[in-house]
Amino acid sequence: MMYNPQYEAMPREQLRQLQLERLQKTVRRVYDNVPFYRKKLQEKGIEPGDVKTLDDLKLLPFTVKQDLRDNYPFGLFAEPMSEVVRVHASSGTTGKPTVVGYTQNDINTWSELIARCVAMAGGSKGDVVQVAYGYGLFTGGLGLHYGAERLGATVIPISGGNTKRQLMLMEDFGTTILCCTPSYALFLAEEAGDFGVDLVNGKLKAGIFGAEPWSEKMRDELEKSLGIKAYNIYGLSEIMGPGVSMECECQCGMHVMEDYFIPEVIDPQTGETLPYGSKGEIVFTTITKEAFPLLRYRTRDISVLTEEKCECGRTFVRMDRVMGRTDDMLIIRGVNVFPSQIESVLLNFGETEPHYLLVVDRQGTLDTLEVLVEVSEKMFSDEVRKLEELEKKLGHEIASILGISARIKLVEPRTIPRSEGKAKRVIDKREL
């Protein structure tokens, strides 16, 4: 079911015209309202009027995550704070989070996007949508929440965790659509048996899963063990949050909501734009956002875009599952983790040259993070008690910076492998 066929199935020529008009407006807005962009555009010798075709997008400067950090917290906002009705934030690599803002119109847009997404998963008025993404600064919970309400569905804003209650309400309230990370959905499926909840023959019919990478193998498992159709949703807070792209009933790639975002694929090394069908880094330009518009934002996510027509009738280009990253970011239990965050904690402990290794694994269905830390002379104590205190403190600090718990393991010096002088920081043993 299409929530908004006028846009979702708009002929591509017409869509391009709409995109161009919206792009032109956006460039004008950021030029007028965001000093950072005015300077960047001027440096490239670009005036807003220079954007005459969609191809001129190539002329515009990229935006990277560091730009967001450099302008913390509100420096890139294109509206005065009095117009901003909400902020979200994701944990930063060095302590300060990345902040994004929304006007009321932005929130309305986001709701529209999610309403489309829930409809893509077969949802409509009358459905019961259990939102088990985290509510709070993370965009997952509230994003799905407002969109499902917009659609007219009944929302259960249960947020993440508390598996027993999740299952109880799922059964008692007759949940039809579950929204959470795919790994948590698998965990719920496993636990259901223990609590005597029959999900396969229950009312649950679809899952909207995202915020972490998953695979076709996991899709099969999820569909079988939950008795549902499992859909992939994509998004990032910088661009909007969840709902930037989403799979339709054909489950053959995620339709990018092109009336709101222009996607590109680039060569991450050269920055050169690549044609549809090429694998590269995905870049988005927001073309309607008021509070926090971004030009050519480099997501660091690697994927492929295709313009081939989809059987569902939607004309939006489709994006493959994210195949990797161009940086060292990990997604653990749906939370973005950068190895440098661990480094910052160790530096705070007075380590001048910390040696550490993140070991990510999946036990059953849940991700585990173990941080191996080499015991330097400075850390070492002759007493077990003090070393255990050190482990506890490190664990606490790391958990508060990352937002997920980690098991700390002290290891002997020089036991973490170094390659070409640079330490390997991550071992990811997960098989998706």
To the nearest whole angstrom, how small is the minimum distance from the Cβ of residue 427 to other proteins?
16
The reply on whether position 421 binds other proteins by CB under 8 A is: no
Asked whether position 422 contacts other proteins by CB under 8 A, the answer is no
Residue span 106-135 as binding mask against other proteins, x where in contact by CB under 8 A, dash where not? ------------------------------
Which residue in this structure is represented by tokens 């950090």? 69
Q: Write out the two tokens for 375.
A: 């015991």
Between 197 and 390, name the residue whose CB sits nearer to other proteins.
390
Q: Nearest approach, Cβ of 8 to other proteins (angstroms)?
A: 54
* Backbone torsions φ then ψ of 28, nearest 5 degrees: -60, -45
**Neighbouring-strand partners of residue 303:** 280
| Shortest CB 393 distance to other proteins, Å | 15
| Nearest to other proteins of 272, 388 (CB atom) | 388
Exactly one of 9, 64, 87, 375 binds other proteins (CB under 8 A); that residue is: 375
- Is position 382 an interface residue for other proteins (rule: CB under 8 A)? yes
Give the burial string for 208-219 (b: 16+ CB within 10 Å, else e).
bbbbbbbeeebb
Q: Does 104 bind other proteins (CB under 8 A)?
A: no
Query: With respect to other proteins, which residue has the nearer C-beta, 46 or 416?
Result: 416
Q: Which of 275, 331, 261 is nearest to 301 (CA)?
A: 331
Q: Does 307 bind other proteins (CB under 8 A)?
A: no
Residue selected from 383, 417, 420, 421 as contacting other proteins according to rule CB under 8 A: 383
- The smaller minimum CB distance to other proteins, of residues 320 and 370, is found at 370
Q: Does 70 bind other proteins (CB under 8 A)?
A: no
| Cα–Cα distance, 64 to 354 (Å, whole number) | 27
| 414 contacts other proteins (rule: CB under 8 A) | yes
409 binds other proteins (CB under 8 A): yes
Angle at 23 between CA 18 and CA 29, to 5 degrees: 130
Does residue 268 have a cis peptide bond before it, meaning omega lies within 30 degrees of 0?
no
**Distant-in-sequence, close-in-space partners of 235: CB < 8 Å, separation ≥ 6:** 139, 143, 210, 241, 242, 243, 244, 245
Query: Which whole-number Å values give the CA distances from 363 to 77, 218, 369, 431, 432, in the listed order?
Result: 41, 15, 10, 11, 12
Give 409's strand partners: 372
Question: Within 10 Å of residue 64's Cβ, how many Cβ atoms?
Answer: 14
d(CA 66, CA 370): 27
- Phi–psi pair at 343, nearest 5 degrees: -60, -40
We find the least distance from the C-beta atom of residue 415 to other proteins, in angstroms, to be: 7
Q: Nearer to other proteins by C-beta: 367 or 374?
A: 374
| 363 scored as a contact of other proteins (CB under 8 A) | no
How many residues sit close enough to other proteins to count as binding (CB under 8 A)? 18
In angstroms, what CA-CA distances link 359 with 29, 196, 342, 349, 367?
44, 34, 12, 21, 10
Residue from the set 216, 413, 427, 428 that interacts with other proteins by CB under 8 A:
413
Choice from 329, 387, 399, 426 touching other proteins (CB under 8 A): 387
Our CB check for other proteins shows the closer of 165 and 386 to be 386
CB of 144 to other proteins, least distance (A): 40
Closer CB to other proteins, 8 or 374, in the complex: 374
**Contact footprint for other proteins (CB under 8 A):** 375-377, 379-384, 387-388, 409-415
